[in-house]
Amino acid sequence: MKILAIETATEACSAALLIDGELSSRYQVQPRMHSQLILPMMEELLAEAGIGLSSLDAIAFGRGPGAFTGVRIAVGVAQGVAFASDLPVVPISTLAALAQRGYREYGFQRILAAYDARMHEVYWGGYAVDAQGLVRPVMDESVSAPDAVTLPEGVGWHGVGPGWGSYSAELKLRIGEALGGETADLLCSAEDVALLGAASFNAGEAVAAEYAQPVYLRDKVASKPRPKS
């Protein structure tokens, strides 16, 4: 299987190529540079592997939630490349990909992923690792105030992502003894979009390029900020 993955929904811009279980990637934390970086990253990976787009099985992309502009870049690039090469696309939750990185790099088994959604809110999701080493959601992903996030069942949860950096005190107070620790500096990577994308592709969850859609979680992208407590 050959999957090319992209992720631009957060401060990190990345691309990854998964070929028969082997990953190669490009990753840079360069806010506001994603539109200039992502296509060269993709081209470099394909050139190094000595393959063209026609050799791929699918394009996987981080479909959000995340920064509005970043999510739109990922959707637009994935659609454009897929249309041009007659490839399907695999949308992957950026919260799930963040949780997958927490497992891949640190071995966390029960993960609470959080991004700063601005307006004193967080994008939020809870995940547990299955027997195949892939994260699976244990709650619906959502956007809410830190003191109103969905509580996980059980204990031993580990928080990952910038939302824990922005609202650590409120999230710790909300989660209480169920929280075992936090790693706030972890960002989403296309490597994990590729891993989850391959599993989704095998499960028959790829879609035609025209059905690639961003997920913002907010019904209204622009609204008045919620006052801080």
- Helices 190-202 and 94-106 pack at an angle, to 10 degrees, of 110
C-beta separation of 88 from 209 below 8 A? yes
Number of neighbouring beta carbons within 10 Å of residue 103: 22
Question: For position 223, what pLDDT does the model report?
Answer: 36
Cis peptide bond prior to 65, omega within 30° of 0? yes
Average pLDDT over every residue of 108-118: 97
130-163: pLDDT as tens digits: 999 999 999 999 999 999 999 999 999 999 999 9
Going by C-beta distance under 8 Å and a sequence separation of 6 or more, which residues neighbour residue 209?
Answer: 78, 79, 82, 83, 87, 88, 89
d(CA 116, CA 121): 7
24-50: pLDDT as tens digits: 999 999 988 999 999 999 999 999 999
* Residues 116/162, Cβ–Cβ less than 8 Å: yes
- Predicted local distance difference test score (pLDDT) of residue 218: 80
Domain 94-183: assigned CATH number: 3.30.420.40
Q: Does the fold of domain 94-183 match that of domain 2-93+189-211?
A: yes
Q: What is the pLDDT of residues 50-86, one digit of tens each?
A: 999 999 999 999 999 999 999 999 999 999 999 999 9
pTM: 0.94
| pLDDT at residue 226, as a whole number | 41
Question: Which CATH topology does 2-93+189-211 take?
Answer: Nucleotidyltransferase; domain 5 (3.30.420)
Query: Closest Cα partner for 96 from 198, 193, 210, 1?
Result: 193
* pLDDT score of 227 more than 60: no
- Is the distance from CB of 77 to CB of 87 less than 8 angstroms? no
Going from N- to C-terminal start, the domains of the chain cover 2-93+189-211, 94-183
